[in-house]
Amino acid sequence: MTHAHGDHVGALDAIKERFPSAPVFISNRDSRLMDGDRSLNKDEPKTPIKGSVPKNLKTRADVLLKDGDQVGSLTAIFTPGHTPGSMSFLDNRNGAIIVGDALQTRGGVAIAGDVKPLFPFPAFGTWSKEVALASAKKIVEVQPSLLAVGHGEMMKSPVKKIGEAIINLEKKLSLGE
Ligand SMILES: [Zn+2]
């Protein structure tokens, strides 16, 4: 799982019931959110963690991921910002990347926290824009061939668009928006 928000983990119990042997992966950091623990680490920005985390989730992760871990053909890339423990997954076979809500494509390509008027909801659930911006740069660095997001269509050759979204958010942050 990319992160612990309710709209991304809500079906987990049902899936686990149906496929009990399927292992569940989430970042070490976001596993704390699944336990309902919204506390922040000392080195994290002092902004409250936003978004809903399901309260009565029975399922817990089987494997806690950190940056660089391999899951089959996928490399886990730590891309915090939307939540403190958001993870992206790069498929080493074809360069496709699954980023959850670190980026969105619906309403225009944007970095988590950058409000897109046509589809503002991922921004409302975002913890830290500054941290998300740094993570977007990390995503560009791996030069993905295909971008898959939690909200919006898949996008081929997304590097240029993500680059533009980085410049947009940098501008807004420098203006204090
Ligand atoms: Zn989310």
Residue 91 has pLDDT above 90, yes or no: yes
The sign of the torsion formed by the CA atoms of 70, 74, 27, 58 equals: negative
Residue 174 has pLDDT above 90, yes or no: yes
Residue 59 has pLDDT above 80, yes or no: yes
Rounded Cα distance, 145 and 93, in Å = 11
Task: Report the pLDDT averaged over residues 69-82.
Answer: 97
Instruction: Return the pLDDT at 55.
Output: 82
| Distance between Cα 74 and ligand 1 center (Å) | 21
Instruction: Return the pLDDT at 53.
Output: 86
| Distance between Cα 17 and ligand 1 center (Å) | 23
Nearest to 160 by CA among 109, 107, 89: 109
| Distance between Cα 142 and ligand 1 center (Å) | 22
| Distance between Cα 16 and ligand 1 center (Å) | 20
Ligand 1 (single-atom ion) residues, CB below 5 Å: 5, 101, 125
Helices (H) and strands (E) in the chain, counts: 6, 10
Task: Report the pLDDT averaged over residues 164-168.
Answer: 98
Nearest to 124 by CA among 48, 56, 176: 48
Task: Report the pLDDT averaged over residues 82-102.
Answer: 98
Instruction: Return the pLDDT at 54.
Output: 80
Lowest mean pLDDT among 66-70, 75-79, 126-130, 173-177: 173-177
| Distance between Cα 63 and ligand 1 center (Å) | 20
Lowest mean pLDDT among 34-38, 82-86, 93-97, 126-130: 34-38
Rounded Cα distance, 98 and 78, in Å = 12
Mean pLDDT of the residues in the chain = 95
> How confident is the model over 108-165, as pLDDT tens digits?
999 999 999 999 999 999 999 999 999 999 999 999 999 999 999 999 999 999 999 9
Task: Tell me what percent of the residues of the chain surpass a pLDDT of 90.
Answer: 94
Residue 97 has pLDDT above 80, yes or no: yes
| Distance between Cα 143 and ligand 1 center (Å) | 23
| Distance between Cα 80 and ligand 1 center (Å) | 11
Alpha-carbon separation of residue 121 from 4, 63, 92 (angstroms): 16, 29, 30
| Distance between Cα 75 and ligand 1 center (Å) | 20
Higher-confidence position of 129 and 55: 129
Residue 177 has pLDDT above 80, yes or no: no
* Domains within the chain, CATH numbers bracketed: 6-174 (3.60.15.10)
Q: What is the DSSP letter of 132?
A: H
Alpha-carbon separation of residue 69 from 72, 90, 101, 137 (angstroms): 10, 11, 20, 19
Rounded Cα distance, 127 and 160, in Å = 25
Residue 35 has pLDDT above 90, yes or no: no
